[in-house]
Amino acid sequence: AFTFTRDESNDYTKKNKYKTPQQQYVKLFNKIQSVVPEGRRPTTPVRILATAGMRLISEEQSEEIYESLREGLESPFPYPILNISTLSGREEGYYSLLSSNYLLGIIDEDMRRIGGEGMVGSLDMGGSSTQITFDPEGAEEIREEGLFIHSYLGFGGDTLREVRGGEKRLFGTWSPPPP
């Protein structure tokens, strides 16, 4: 079985209580077991879509992590895992805009505007990237191609606060950490 660790400068196990990637998902899958009826579990598909943190590591490393996840989750849980992959920065921005506008009641489940209201833009700062997305044209049908989407890899909250050698890196400048 794959054991996920990193060197001392970027140690996953120090930041997280989990020692392997699948341990993070076991608790979630156990919760899903309580929601999805037993008879529907074999036909309830699962997609795991990672974001910028996985774009910062090599493709070989991410594939090893994904394979470990698949192996660790397929045997104890009856759900077909359709996809484990990494979203592009563009996809991450697109989904951020859709979810923001859906939750605000501006678009419906068919991605159509409700009541002619304009969409809100989205600035999504995650741990390892920031996405800025908006609709410059106000089109009736929301399609990824008509949106302004830009992803800034490495400009997430965690990466901007990353501490190295006792100093804090913020926007390319170095300053001592607060007392």
Phi, psi (deg, nearest 5) at residue 31: -65, -40
Phi, psi (deg, nearest 5) at residue 26: -60, -45
The predicted model scores a pTM of 0.72
Structure tokens at 146: 């008509």
CA dihedral 112, 108, 81, 61 (to 10 degrees): 70
Question: Among 114, 119, 150, which Cα is nearest to 135's?
Answer: 119
- The pLDDT score that the predictor gives to residue 14 is 45
How far is residue 87 CA from its own chain's centroid?
A: 7
- Specify whether 117 is catalytic: no
- CA–CA distance, 136 with 133 (Å, rounded to integer): 9
- The pLDDT score that the predictor gives to residue 26 is 82
- The pLDDT score that the predictor gives to residue 168 is 54
Q: Mean pLDDT per 10-residue run, the chain (179 residues)? A: 34 51 78 89 90 90 88 83 92 95 91 84 93 88 89 87 56 50
* Catalytically annotated residue among 92, 117, 137, 144: 92
- CA–CA distance, 178 with 149 (Å, rounded to integer): 35
